[in-house]
Chains A and B, each alone.
Chain A
Amino acid sequence: MSGVAISGNAVVAGRSLLRRLSAVVRLVPNAEFLVGVVIIGIWTVLIAAAPVITRYGPLNQQIRLRLQPPSAVHWFGTDQLGRDIFSRVCYGGRESFPAAIAVVAIGFLIGVSLGAIAGYRRGVVDDVVMRLTDMFLAFPLIVLAMAVAAALGASLSHGIIALAAVWWPSFVRVSRALVLDLSNKEYVVAARAAGRRPAGILFRVILPNALPPLLVMAAIDVGRAILSFSILGFLGLGAQPPQPEWGAMVSAGAAVMDDWWVALFPALPILTLAFAFNLIGDSIRDALDPWVGGRR
């Protein structure tokens, strides 16, 4: 009895979130999940330890050694300016990876708050939020992001703003639907009858129950955000040269297709990370969804 947290609200909330996450991880000991975690783990180590494991600076030009194929010295070869591609890929992740997570995090916060309020308040608030969301959803995401990025001027931070500005609508749709559904649950009515305030009901009762599917969606979205960010980079609307960025590097490599390593190795993290986040999202969803889980 004494071990149960009813001493304070913050303690309860903190512990229950931890418990929930650990429960999710324990639920999914399957291969898909592990493969995803390993891939993300490898890239995270490479990116974090870039200064330690690379022998050349990402901006270091050795014009004599331009367009060298992969070798024991230059593991991923060199590019048109003789820069070590392995270093540039590792350092490039320091831009793309956090940027992608930032895009999803900002989109998640904006989208889930708007969606939750719309779904809970209903009425005029709901109408306004949802029509605005529909307007954004009517455009292809990347075209809208390009427009925003082009208007703000090409740079890394503008790329993040551009993507975040178009990322939130899908979270609005999903979170609103979840909140609408959960609002009718009897335990939510019970919380009202207990005398909880509307904000307390929304944030302490409804949202914790809506969180798991939203987190799954966010996990899959990180992969998509890395892709989208690379597209902006490829189009020259993200990080600017000489800063290494995966999409921009692929774009540069596309000019020298005969020297395949220049485009391929920067594409590798984009592909594998997008893949890994999808694997993780899918396996968590399967574990949470009794129907899919039951059929396996």
Chain B
Amino acid sequence: MLRAVERGEEALLDVRDLQVAVGPPRRSWLVVRGVSLQVRAGEIFGLLGESGSGKSMTVQAINGLLPPGARVTGGSVRFDGEELIGNSSRRLAQLRGDRIGMVFQDSLTSLDPIMQIGPQVAEPLLLHDKASRREARSLVAERLRAMGMADTHEAVRRYPHEFSGGMRQRAAIATALIGTPSLLIADEPTTALDVTVQAQILDICRRLNQELGAAIVLISHDLGVLAEICTTIGVMYAGRIVQTGPTRALLEHPNHPYTRALVESMPRRSGSRGVRLKAIGGEPPAPDALPDGCKFHPRCAYAIARCVEQEPTLTWVGETRSACWVAQAGALPPLAETGPVGLTQPAADGKPATTRDVLLTATDLRHYFAVPGERLFARPRQLRAVDGVSVELRRGDTLGIVGESGCGKSTLAKCLLRLIDVDAGRIEFMGRDITRLAGDELRRIRRHVQPIFQDPYASLNPRRRITEIIAEPLIVNGFAADEVASRVQQSLDLVGLGGRLGSRFPHELSGGQRQRVGIARAIVLRPALIVADEPISSLDLSIQAQIINLLRDLQQRFDLTLVFISHDLRMVRQLCTSIAVMFLGKIVETGPTEEVCARPRHPYTGALLASVPELSFSREPRSRTLLAGEPPSPLSPPSGCRFRTRCPSCRNHCASNEPQLVAGADADHRWACHFPLATENAPIMQVAE
């Protein structure tokens, strides 16, 4: 006879009013403030939230794996009818790895570095005496194959550090699934991975869910990722679930202003460039200083008096449950059809590109790193990080450089900034050859080209106040004291950091504020060119849209030329007039953004576009061409076309002949492929069968 859980009458995982507190006993505060969620057998439940929303703490409490200093202070967690809160640690250990599998974000630290992959994957089986060594071995091979690892004989003998991030995450998922658990908890499993690999891993999760019937709780900060595979989504904000329901209903009727803002701030495929993203103002509250009433009301555009006084609870609104007084009263206006609103001026006042002057021309740039040989006395090898890249920028251009990790995009940025020397090629900037400039001459050029860095924590000197940090470029370049003071204040105002923040130290600021300081420092000299290397990738989703809007505003206001480097095609598409796609040190396709995105010709561009998680409003999973495998090592790129080992349309010709960039009908759109994608049949345009 089937049990109630199996008949689907009772939830497999039933969390009720869970509370988690951190901090010293007398002065503790709640980071999870009464979370209830039900996951049925075979369901994929997505838990969405920004950093500090309590999503990780929630699942760690479910698992009994809370970090020291955090403790459950109330509520219940029933797994398959059994209470987990207060249960013995021995019983919890029995369940973990056997009935509940767990996958962490960082596979490099979650796998034991001195244990081979095979024994590591098999460990849960052996710990729970579920299989003999021989059975375990064959099951490990089977699971690894299901993860898409071809040579399992080879793989089981490897150590984690010998694997790429994607392969490690596969091994970690295989470990979590080896005991055929009925529940898999995955905490940001794809956040550290490239988009093409992320798409593969999500695909695997969906397939395993169907084949093994394991329910999955997937945690992510990226609504796109959850929308791809989840059946149900719970949106967390400030320690509570603020809206939950079936994925499609939630996306179509985001009946909570926070969910709505997230949906609206996601760049859409249909959304065109030059349009402001609808960003949420402000920042998420700190868990130890929550506002009264609804915790979202300070950032909410629809807040009414009641929101300030009383915190709403989850109540059915349509097909989902929402914790919002306005939505519960039916007063939330329907979702605008177009998504982002408010057209702004097209870049550079719509002047045709060719009439603007050329600001920077880089010709055939190369930068090689020497990597020590693998064996003693072996000759050092060359890593061709940038291998023959040419770029032309006109004043007011916004160029997006896209590619996966290791493709050389950051090295190219450093070359353009002249922070590292180029090994070959030529950079002409403002009509001057700056390739070999050094000393004072180079320093005089520097004020015209400024960087914005990825990590807003590492890029600000921790021992200087914000005003001193922004003033540094001015003082170094010999500006007078009163000029410095006024320019610093002006820059602070421009990036939206007025008030008294200037006298603070970087550690007193949030990530978003710090990145604004980084931008203020970059614009304070009024440079002609700004090179931004992944400026938003370490920020929360709601903050990313703010920063993109800020960059766009500044770019238009000062007619800046902007090189925007990112792995996130969605954001590049929002901001940039043209795109260059890099693969293993080379540009494989470049052209106007709309053209490249609508009619990609290089298979890699097509695959990148297909891998980007999107909000889809159709019930069917969209069919798409996913890339197999991972980028080859830049130490030994394949002969001929470098992409051929991953290319779905590779032929013999590709192995021996390296394709050059060729132009299509539109001379600006160029690609390096012998067998380009047909223009009518771009994979992103395909509809589900």
Contact = CB atoms under 8 A, between A and B. Distances in A.
Nearest to A198: B439
A8 B518 CA distance: 22
Contacts of B468: 4-6, 12
A29 interface: no
A96 B443 CA distance: 49
B481 interface: yes
Contacts of A205: 461
B559 interface: no
A252 interface: no
A2 B482 CA distance: 10
Contacts of B525: 194
Interface in A170-204: 185-187, 189-197, 200
B419 A8 contact: no
B477 A6 contact: no
A19 B481 CA distance: 22
Interface stretch (B448-456, B549-557, B638-646): B448-456
Interface in B472-511: 472-473, 475-477, 481, 484-485, 488-489, 502-503
Nearest to B460: A187
B410 to A, nearest CB: 11
Contacts of B444: 195
Given A4-B503, A6-B485, A209-B463, A190 B451 contact: yes
A190 B503 contact: no
Contacts of A200: 476
B484 A195 contact: no
A195 B447 contact: yes
A186 B417 CA distance: 14
Contacts of B451: 189-190, 193
A209 B458 CA distance: 13
A16 B471 CA distance: 15
B479 to A, nearest CB: 10
Q: Which of B458, B472, B521 has the most CB of A within 10 A?
A: B472
A252 to B, nearest CB: 49
Q: Which of A2, A5, A8, A192 has the most CB of B within 10 A?
A: A192
B282 interface: no
Given A186-B453, A194-B446, A6 B489 contact: no
A22 interface: no
Contacts of B481: 6-8
A187 B446 contact: no
Contacts of A196: 472, 476
Contacts of B419: 189, 192-193
A258 B460 CA distance: 64
Contacts of B417: 193
B299 interface: no
B463 A208 contact: yes
Nearest to B521: A190
Q: Which of B463, B473, B518, B521 has the most CB of A within 10 A?
A: B463
A108 to B, nearest CB: 19
Contacts of B450: 193-194
Contacts of A3: 503
A1 interface: yes
A85 B546 CA distance: 74
Contacts of A20: 463
A71 interface: no
B9 to A, nearest CB: 47
A184 to B, nearest CB: 9
B471 A195 contact: no
Contacts of B476: 191, 194-196, 200
A186 B503 contact: no
B463 A186 contact: no
Contacts of A185: 458
Contacts of A193: 417, 419, 446, 449-451
A157 B464 CA distance: 40
Nearest to A206: B461
Contact of A9 (B454, B462, B475, B485): B475
Interface string A195-234: 1110010000100110000000000000000000000000
B411 interface: no
A209 B462 contact: yes
A277 B12 CA distance: 61
Interface string A1-36: 111111111001000100010000000000000000
A203 to B, nearest CB: 13
B354 to A, nearest CB: 30
B459 interface: yes
A1 B467 contact: yes
Contacts of A195: 443-444, 446-447, 473, 476-477
B465 interface: yes
A6 B458 contact: no
Contacts of B518: 190
Nearest to A190: B459
9 closest A-B pairs by beta carbon, nearest first, are: A186-B459, A194-B473, A195-B446, A195-B443, A187-B461, A186-B458, A6-B471, A186-B453, A4-B467
24 contacts: A1-B502, A4-B468, A5-B468, A6-B471, A6-B485, A6-B488, A12-B468, A16-B463, A16-B464, A20-B463, A186-B454, A186-B455, A186-B459, A187-B459, A187-B462, A190-B451, A193-B451, A194-B476, A194-B477, A194-B525, A200-B476, A208-B463, A209-B462, A209-B463
Given A187-B462, A189-B419, 5 more contacts: A1-B489, A6-B481, A190-B518, A195-B444, A209-B462
Interface of B: 417, 419, 443-444, 446-447, 449-451, 453-455, 458-465, 467-469, 471-473, 475-477, 481, 484-485, 488-489, 502-503, 518, 521, 525
